[in-house]
Amino acid sequence: MAVRGRVGGWKLWWADLARRWNLPFFSREGAKPTALVDLAKPSFRLGIAKIKVGWEGHRMAVTVKADKERYAARDTAKVALQVKNPDGSVAPKADVAFVAVDEALLQLAPNESLDVLTAMMGERPLSVLTSTAQTQVVGKRHYGRKAVEAGGGGGGDLSALNRENFQPVLLWRGTVPLDAQGRAQVDVPLSDALTGFKLVAVAVGSDGQTFGTGETAVRTAQDLSIFAGIPPLVRDGDFFSAGFTLRNGS
């Protein structure tokens, strides 16, 4: 970046003469500033060159593997993790986070924050973004608990019989310790939903310069399902067919 100061001295006299006599072959830089223009003001020139950095030296190999591809509702999936450095060596000191989320939720809004390597190595514009959390510190107040169930439990504990756990995020662990071989095992309790789940592990190297993401998918299903075909509302004197549908999911 080259900066030039305000033009003055002997150039000011030549520029003022060129402005008075309207002479194009004289330099008009250094003219006295007016209410509309200031030709003698400081100026600068900026030169930019782009350098592309390879990703392979910063990409960690993260392997996520479940013991099965298909589970029943409320089963526990045993997931094995392994993290390696870009050169193929084990990374026992890597910082690993693990999340298990319903794929239906990701179809509504993909979670791009799980791809740490793209976020860290992506091209950045020539701009500066700033943010502050002062509003959460100064004048902080308690907003109260939200999304609390207003009703009761129905007079008894029916959790063992009714399907009621449909939470989209099954498990979130901010830190997963690794052994000397860079491996770990995570137990994921599945919900009552019959759907697919994505298991993702995000790793950051101990040097803070390597990143990696690994994922796999599992599915919950039921061997036998029954669906009622009777109408939900009938009146006195109506005739209806009490039909049921059985589906073999095995």
Confidence bin at 214 (pLDDT 50/70/90): very high
151-162 burial, b at 16+ Cβ within 10 Å, e below that, comes to: eeeeeeeeeeee
Report percent pLDDT > 90 for the chain: 47
Mean pLDDT of the chain: 83
Fold held by 56-120+162-222: Immunoglobulin-like (2.60.40)
> What is the spatial order of strands in the sheet that 183-189 belongs to?
61-66, 76-84, 183-189
CA dist., res. 123 & res. 213, Å (int): 19
Burial class (CB in 10 A: 0-12, 13-18, 19+), 250: exposed
Pairwise pLDDT comparison (165 vs 153), residue with the higher score: 165
Residue 7 tokens read as: 């033009």
Domain map (residue ranges) of the chain? 2-45, 56-120+162-222
Pairwise pLDDT comparison (127 vs 101), residue with the higher score: 101
How many other CB atoms are there within 10 angstroms of residue 198's CB atom?
A: 19
pTM for the model stands at: 0.64
| Residue 217: pLDDT over 60 | yes
Helix (H) or strand (E) holding 61: strand 61-66
Q: What is the pLDDT of residue 52?
A: 80
How many angstroms from the chain centroid is the CA of residue 226?
Answer: 38
Confidence bin at 145 (pLDDT 50/70/90): low
For residue 90, give the DSSP letter: B
How many angstroms from the chain centroid is the CA of residue 99?
Answer: 12
